[in-house]
Structure 1
Amino acid sequence: MYSKDQVSQLKQEFWTAFGQYIAPQLSAEGLRINWINYKTGIKHLFFKMQADKRQATIGIEITHPDAGMQELVFEQFKEFKKLFEAQVQEEWEWELGAVDEYGKKISRIYTVLPGVSIFKKEDWPALISFFKPRMIALDEFWNDAQHSFDVFK
């Protein structure tokens, strides 16, 4: 069992390592970007990577406090589902009106890598191999689709 400080330190160590590994990768527009804190330019819309002691998750989270707006943004993503799946080269889970770990209603499009732990350094290559191509694919998708979401800015 890890102490709170050890948990924080290991997580920080992983995300720093991942950030250094992916830093040379330019965005679809050819720009340097912060992959870990990806800016979509749309309020309440995030590309998130998470890892804990059981699994890793990457996805799009729509956190708009208004349920109707959240559904509109989600429906807009559904209009791009074929393009999205072509970019990520796999099917992801699509959840409208899910509840996050804090009890907040969100909608999300995500995929999971089970059986890995951010606390096991021997799992880090698998985590990086999971996150990197999917984050790059999300960026490529967003480069093509983002202007259709400008109405939500």
Structure 2
Amino acid sequence: MYSREEVKQLKQLFWTKFGQYMSLHSAADGEKVSWMNYKTGVKHLYFKMDADNNTAKIAIIWSHTDAGIRALMAEQFLQYKNLLHDILGEEWEWDMDSCDEYGKPICQIYRTLEGHSIFKEEEWGELIAFFKPRMIALDEFWSSAKYAFDIFK
């Protein structure tokens, strides 16, 4: 069992190493990008990566407080579903009625990797191999689809 401080330090070390590794890659549009804090330019719309003691998750999350806006954004993503899955090279889960860790309503499109721990440094290679191509693919998708979401800015 890890103390709260050890958990914080291990997570911080992993994400720092991941960020350093990803800093070698430019965005699809050739610009420099902060992979860890990816800016979609749309309020309440995020690309999020997370990992814990058994699961890694990468997701597109939108969390507008207005259910109608969340539904409109979901419709917009559905219009781009085939493009998204083609660029990702795989199908992702679509959850249009979920809540975040604070109980706030969200919609999300995500992929998980089970059985790998951020607390085991020997598994960091598998976690990076999970996150890296998917984050690069999300960036490629966003460079094509972002203009359709300008109405939500």
TM interval, shorter chain, is over 0.9
Which residue number corresponds to residue 75 of structure 2?
75
SS at match of 1:35: coil
Aligned residue identity for 1:12: Q
- Give the aligned partner of residue 146 of structure 2: 146
For structure 2, the 5+ residue unaligned runs are none
Aligned to 2:125: 125
Deviation track 1:83-122 (CA, whole Å, cap 9, x = no partner) reads 0000100000001121122211100000000001100101
Corresponding pairs, count: 153
Residue 3 (str. 1) matches residue 3 (str. 2): yes
State the distance in 2 between where 1:126 and 1:89 align.
18
Amino acid at match of 2:30: G
Letter in 1 for 2:26: L
Question: Does 2:112 correspond to 1:96?
Answer: no
Other-structure match for 1:85: 85
SS at 2:16's partner residue?
helix
Structure-2-length-normalised TM-score: 0.99
> Which whole-Å CA distance do the structure 1 matches of 2:63 and 2:50 have between them?
16
- 3-state DSSP of counterpart to 1:38: coil
When normalised by structure 1's length, the TM-score is 0.99
- Structure 1 residues 30-55: Cα deviation after superposition (integer angstroms, max 9, x where no partner): 11110000000000000000000110
Residue of structure 2 equivalent to 1:134: 134
User: Cα RMSD over matched residues?
Assistant: 0.5
Q: Matches of 2:97 and 2:44 in 1, distance apart?
A: 14
Deviating above 3 A after TM superposition, structure 1's stretches of 4 or more consecutive aligned residues are none
The answer for the alignment partner of 2:61 in structure 1 is 61
In structure 1, how many angstroms separate the alpha carbons of the residues matched to 2:138 and 2:76?
15
SS where residue 83 of structure 2 aligns?
helix
Q: Distance in 2 between matches of 1:122 and 1:54?
A: 14
Please report how far the alpha carbon of residue 74 of structure 1 lies from its aligned counterpart in structure 2 after TM superposition. 1.1
Q: Percent identity?
A: 56
Identify unmatched segments of 5+ residues in structure 1. Answer: none
